[in-house]
Amino acid sequence: MPIIELPVQSLELNPNEPDIRVTKGSSKTFVFSSGVDLTSSTVRIDVRRRPTVPATYITKPLVILAPPSEGKVEVTVDATDIALIPSGHYWYAITATKTGIDTTLLSGRFSIEPFDQAFVSDVEPIMRLALTGTSERVSLQVRDQENILANPDELEVRLLDFSDTPMVTYNLSSPELINPEGGIFYFDFQSNRSGDFLAIWQYRFAGEEPQTVVKNIRWVTPAMFRLIPEIRLYIDKARKASNKTIAFNPVDIAEYIDNSLRDFNMTPPTTQIMLEHLDGFLNVYKEIIVLGAVIQSCIAQGLLAVDQDFVYNDNGISLAIDHSTKLQSWFNVLMQQYTQKKFLAKKNFFTPTVYARTIIGQAFALGLSKVPASTLARFRGWI
């Protein structure tokens, strides 16, 4: 029988863990026991940036539920209470006033989360993938010295394409730069070209040094996206076991594919094949690109394992974590197959004809594009 989870209307505050966490646009009620008699008392909550700052963001009276017994108090944070407060971490204190004497009943951290994190997309990754022809959201979170989301006094973002040519430049006054709430900025950008685009954010608060944040957005073709899940089936054991992706995110696999393709292109006779330009290329050489990407993943995992593997011995009990040796053995097997297949595939770029032998490759674009059959021995090491 499925379990139905109902929305939480109120939470019992633990004096040992008194943090209050609320989300923009929502309301939440908290209840706690003060342990003292609150008869004839006035109870309120004050929210400040930090305990030493007298100015308050929220000051409101609270509801006393059971004055004679345990002194239960109900704290309700409405959406309107926090609508104009930037998201971030604050400090709160619940105070009871009786006969002119203030007594702090409870204090802790008051955390306000953005009203909809999905609205600004993922703001943390330094690199992300986007499909050519689609719109991608480029976003940023700006926090002040107290880790509070806040708008800086100056802000500018520049988007550079893969040739370092400026594409767009926005500042605080640009209508294309959206500021849905304090400290959150984004703009939507679309590219029909593949390659790495850099978003360079620069901002400054008054009296502080300017800060720079650089994010990389890689636009890739549909051909690249089609290869990513196929390669993941080889290298991500979590995906094969549970159909859930834990390791090897799309950015990693896209890099392995690029490295595999660069390795193929640099092997003599050199070529200049790109996935976005030759749709039919994958029909013939797809296996080599996939195998090369798997080898690239073995290199990445092997380098990580060298740093993390260890051997432990204690009173005759031995434990050895040795991923690097196993990865090395598989690397050697795959590399042997890959080298042989790449060697045979490169022969397709040395095409003999009746009168001449034509080599297709960037390195032979000048002077060596046509080689007489009598000088075939000159390239015997390649065929």
The secondary structure of 345-380 as a DSSP string is: HHGGGEEE-SS-EEE-SGGGSSS-SEE-GGGGGGGG
Q: Which CATH code is given to the segment(s) 10-113?
A: 2.60.40.3350
Mean predicted confidence (pLDDT) in 128-134:
79
Look-up of token digits 């799309």: 250
- Each domain of the chain, given as residue ranges in start order, spans 10-113, 117-220, 223-377
* pLDDT exceeds 70 at position 320: no
Mean pLDDT of all residues in 279-297: 76
Cα 231 to Cα 336: distance, rounded to the nearest angstrom? 19
Per-residue confidence at 355, pLDDT binned at 50, 70, 90?
Answer: very low
**What's the token pair of residue 352?**
């003999």
Q: What are phi and psi of 89, to 5 degrees?
A: -105, 130
More confident residue, 120 or 101: 101
Residue 7 pLDDT more than 60?
A: no
Q: What is the DSSP letter of 17?
A: B
Which of 18-27, 150-159, 292-301: highest mean pLDDT?
150-159
Taking only the tens place, the pLDDT of each residue in 183-241 is 889 898 888 887 788 889 999 988 888 888 888 888 887 877 778 877 887 777 655 55
What pLDDT shows up at residue 3? 42
Q: What is the mean pLDDT of residues 138-158?
A: 84
117-220 homologous superfamily? Immunoglobulins (2.60.40.10)
What is residue 335's three-state secondary structure?
A: helix
pLDDT at 325 over 60: yes
Structure tokens at 314: 């204690």
pLDDT at 45: 92
Confidence of residue 306 (pLDDT cuts 50, 70, 90): low
Comparison of pLDDT for 246 and 252, the residue scoring more: 252
Average pLDDT of the chain to the nearest whole number? 75
Helices marked H in the chain — which ranges?
Answer: 79-82, 222-235, 237-242, 250-266, 281-308, 323-346
Amino acid, res. 298 = C
Query: Is it the case that residue 258 has pLDDT exceeding 50?
Result: yes
Report how far residue 80's alpha carbon sits from residue 119's, in angstroms, rounded to the nearest whole number. 20
Mean pLDDT of 294-312: 69
More confident residue, 128 or 98: 98
Show the tokens assigned to 347: 């022969």
pLDDT higher than threshold 80 for residue 152: yes
| Other beta carbons within 10 Å of 194 | 20
> For residue 376, what pLDDT is reported?
44
Q: What is the mean pLDDT of residues 58-77?
A: 83
How many Cβ atoms are within 10 Å of 270's Cβ, its own excluded?
Answer: 17
Topology match between the domains 10-113 and 117-220: yes
State the average pLDDT over residues 329-342.
Answer: 78
Residue 138 has pLDDT above 60, yes or no: yes
pLDDT over threshold 50, residue 254: yes
The reported pLDDT for the residue numbered 359 is: 46
Q: Report the range out of 14-23, 126-135, 352-361 with the highest average pLDDT.
A: 14-23
Tell me what the mean pLDDT of segment 76-83 comes to.
87
DSSP secondary structure of 144-169: -TTS-B---SEEEEEEE-TTS-EEEE
Is the per-residue pLDDT at 296 higher than 70?
A: yes
What confidence tier does 312 reach under pLDDT thresholds 50, 70, 90? low
Confidence class for position 307, pLDDT limits 50, 70, 90: low
**Cα 291–chain centre separation:** 26
Lowest mean pLDDT among 94-98, 106-110, 329-333: 329-333
Q: What is the mean pLDDT of residues 102-122?
A: 72
